[in-house]
Structure 1
Amino acid sequence: MGWNTLDDVDLRGKRVLVRVDVNVPIENGTVTDDTRIRRLVPTLNDIRAAGGKPILLAHFDRPKGKRVPEMSLLPLVPALEAAFGAPVAFCADCRGPAAEAALAALDQDSILVLENTRFHPGEEKNCPELAAEIAALGDVYCNDAFSVAHRAHVSTEGVARILPSCAGRLMQAELEALEAALGKPQRPVMAVVGGAKVSTKLELLGNLVEKVDHLVIGGGMANTFLAAQGIDVGKSLCEHEMTGTAAEILAKAEQTGCAVLLPSDVVVAREFKAGADHQTVPASACPADAMILDAGPETVARVARALEGAKTLIWNGPMGAFEIDPFDAATNAAAQTAAALTRDGQLISVAGGGDTVAALNQAGVAEDFTYISTAGGAFLEWMEGKTLPGVAVLDQQGVLA
């Protein structure tokens, strides 16, 4: 790991530009879920304890380079103050004289939050001039927003090229978890990949078959792989035009020694609704008028045995239509097995992606996994083996005295 953390930086008396993710839900001007804000507390506390002065950089929603009052960060101030336990000043710009004046007026115990960086068209274009203006407000840059590390924007990459840079505590935890899962993992490594479409996860699957020992494919995309083997999947969600690609992925897995686990039995129904009449049949025996909505108990048992033999697990996507009962059974059972093995110290488990987080919460095991990423696109791109600009730029900085 070549990137610096807060432990490598002398922050005493320094102005620290901290890129954060505060895209939280707001109703009637009030934050309704401050989870993302509370996750920033360790970084802000450590900066202040070391004598640094935090200046927060963030975007909110998609203003597309224009000043949109409804997307201002001003309504976040009360939630920020409550979480940080410190006064939070707000500046209506993230650059120029207004920001300089707000910074000059800031006392040592306060935190400054600058206005939505995406109000400026240069932010998403990674404009060097805007980067220089923002960088002039700080002495050190700290990125604590892994969720946008896959974007080469001014506030995620441009400023880091100008100032000495480091990862915040949240970014550090994410990078360490992903390094443990895919960088230098304990083997055997197992991945569970689910979701609706193969087409959205081609690069992910192609990368994983080269890096993991076991790959479980579930959800709607499993139907495409079954169809690629000549199996009739009835009225199931299936990308028939992708069966050739699915066959190529299976062939690549065989070449790399990655064992692919597809459903051997499935739960089928004629209606997609909670409590629908359903039956369990072999994967090769889906009725022509039915659809596959979950993996069956035999498949669940096979997944459990694979988990018991694994040392590291990466999970992205549910194994079935987990949103409705009874088609959440496979996802719940596999998640509970992984959680139990993690609690017993037998498994390092890393999960990420919106549906994945929702599924693990529904199964009641989210707190038992080693690490759960809420980063979405950045998590997927890391799993696909891509270089993330917001992480790569941190590698360019030497250790700071």
Structure 2
Amino acid sequence: MLNVALKLPRTVWFLGAVSFLNDAASDAIYPLLPLFFAATFAVGAQALGIIEGAANATAALMKLVSGYFYDRSQRAKGWLIIGYTLPALSRPLIALASSTPVVLLLRMGDRIGKGLRTSPRDALLAAAVPADRRGLAYGLHRSMDHAGAVAGPLAAAALLAAGWSVREVILWTIVPGVLSVLLVAMLREPEGLAVGNGKIDWQWQSLPAPLKRYLVALGVFTLSQASNMFLLLRAKETGFTDTQIPLLWAGFSALAMLLSTPLSALSDRVDRRSMLCGAWVVYALLFAAFGLLPSGVGTTIALFVGYAIFIAATEGAEKALIAELAPQAQLGTAFGWFHLVSGVMLLPASALFGWLWSHAGSTTAFMVSASTSFIAAGLLLRARRAER
């Protein structure tokens, strides 16, 4: 597997290294932001939810916009430079913010950067490799992304242990952020991409029917996906201490990092829709187990291992399937719709899960999520049969 991965184009490795640096900076401060906001600006959960909700909703829309314009030019580098520069500057400036509105603007700048770069980057990855290597390419990219999610929190913990303040750690993220921008500036886009004709249609009805059927099933599945924060809350209920929970999440990210490349590469050798359909059923069983199995640290660790395997098997395969179902000239728009559907549906998914948890208990919340995932798997299976 390593020998095959090493033969991937330079573009794939460059984008993976950029994601590693950017995610190391982002995940270094992500767990610290709620504490920093509460201590500095007296921002409570409701205000924090508004800030994050507005930022993520803006990012979801930007992913469609940038994907559409990528299709018109077939050039991603400009979008990537802007998309990584905004977070590289916005993240450290949070440490110098003096009011909640300024924090909101900086968080939106961070998320807008993510929105501007994501669809062109995913389309560029698809264009840089043959169709039978797309699962491997996306898997490698996700592995390096997860590696950043491990390295960032560990670096932040080390700096805090050395006596740094939270504000100083946030300021420190300018270093990996600037490095990621410099790497993007060195990136050479592959030659021979389709030339945009300026007539790309980004409306839903312009998408191929198989792609639309997949996106509908994906939208239903996304409704079953609660925020990972709920899984960590469930871990705390089952006996994990506040000190152990970050270690649990670091272990989860490390396992996902190790498995993303080989499991995503598996989708290059099997029918991707069948693989995703089976994975969504596994997700339903995992969430049912989170809600029904007796509480215990050992059980929770086993379920997090299963969840890491699920994440590793699906993140790359989902994007490879989008590239498979979309025309070459419409890759950016297709990825824009993919990210818009999944991003928008996550908002009601987490809201519903949280409401059920509060009013009916965690078991009910997990069982409703599991049932929704089964429905999505059925829709995906039906879409596959329709094409046959």
**With structure 1 as the length reference, what TM-score do the two structures score?**
0.23
Q: Indicate the structure with greater strand content.
A: 1
From the CA coordinates, give the structure whose radius of gyration is larger.
Answer: 1
Q: Looking at both structures, which has the greater relative contact order when contacts are Cα pairs under 8 Å and sequence separation is at least 6? A: 2
Structure 2 length-normalised TM: 0.24
